[in-house]
Amino acid sequence: MIKEWFATWFNTPYYHLLYRHRDLNEARSFIDNWLQAHPLPNNAHLLDLACGRGRHAVQLADNGYRVTGIDLSKENIAFANNHFAREGLNFVQGDMRDDLGNRQYDAVVNLFTSFGYFNTQKENQQVFDNIFQALKPNGCFLFDYLNPNTLSHINTNPETKVIDDVRFDILRRIEGEYVIKTIRVEDRGNTHTFYEKVKLIYPHTFREMLKTSGFTIEQEWGNYQLSTLNTGSSPRYITLARK
């Protein structure tokens, strides 16, 4: 069976090399901004859904919360367990389309476009339904996605980056409802090709989807500094929704 692209690309060290500027510092600053604006109850239990290598989960745990990180990638979970796991901070492999538990968490976060990968709207909605079910009553969901309104000026010229002697040739294009990135990697004479395919889901669709799952939207922001959302120009669509 051919693996879905997101089960392959995020599981490679090359994803982490290419996105290495998306680091612990960026995560710390965003989490600090969020917790300042929205403190959580003491002893809150959080789920970082699609936690990657755990950069946000660590910051949440450093703030005194109990945190579980779930990610599809075996390699990411192994990395997070080796580097960050401790009492009150654990990581498990799992698929966000599967049951995430029942009334377990005070907050769920899904950050840095860890969504929009699936082929059907049914799967997308299922994830929001799973999150709703996994939250305790009055629990909250912090969601951070790209803002497709700003992608119309996407750079479709090929781009080359060399990082630690690894060459990345990147091509972006918009095809139908998806933004597709082809990443050709050349590493010590070996070449590999990976894809990213993310659905252009607009803020108005997310509002509908959240409502359908039962959420009430409390706040919307447009960047990691938590500036007010401008749907036409903000780089991110960040929302805080309440069960």
State how beta strands 166-175 and 190-199 pair.
unpaired
Select the residue interacting with ligand SAM from 47, 55, 179, 194 (CB under 6 A). 55
Give the nearest distance from C-beta 81 to ligand SAM in angstroms. Answer: 14
Q: Which position among 59, 68, 73, 90 is part of the footprint of ligand SAM (CB under 6 A)?
A: 73
Closest residue to ligand SAM, judged by C-beta, is 52
As measured in angstroms, the least distance from the Cβ of 122 to ligand SAM is 14
Binders of ligand SAM: how many residues, by CB under 6 A? 20
Residues 183-212 within binding reach of ligand SAM (CB under 6 A) = none
Q: To the nearest 10°, the Cα dihedral for 168, 169, 174, 177?
A: -40
Between 27 and 189, CB nearer to ligand SAM = 27
Segment 35 to 54, residues that bind ligand SAM, using CB under 6 A: 50-52
* 66-71 sheet: strands from edge to edge: 89-93, 66-71, 45-49, 105-110, 135-146, 236-242, 216-221
Of residues 112 and 132, the one with the C-beta less far from ligand SAM? 112
- Binding to ligand SAM by CB under 6 A, coded x per residue (else -) over 81-120, reads --------------xxx-------------xxxx--x---
The residue type found at 13 is P
Does 6 help bind ligand SAM (rule: CB under 6 A)?
yes
Distance CA(126)–CA(1), nearest Å, equals 23
Positions in the binding site for ligand SAM (CB under 6 A): 6, 10, 22, 50-52, 55-56, 71-73, 76, 95-97, 111-114, 117
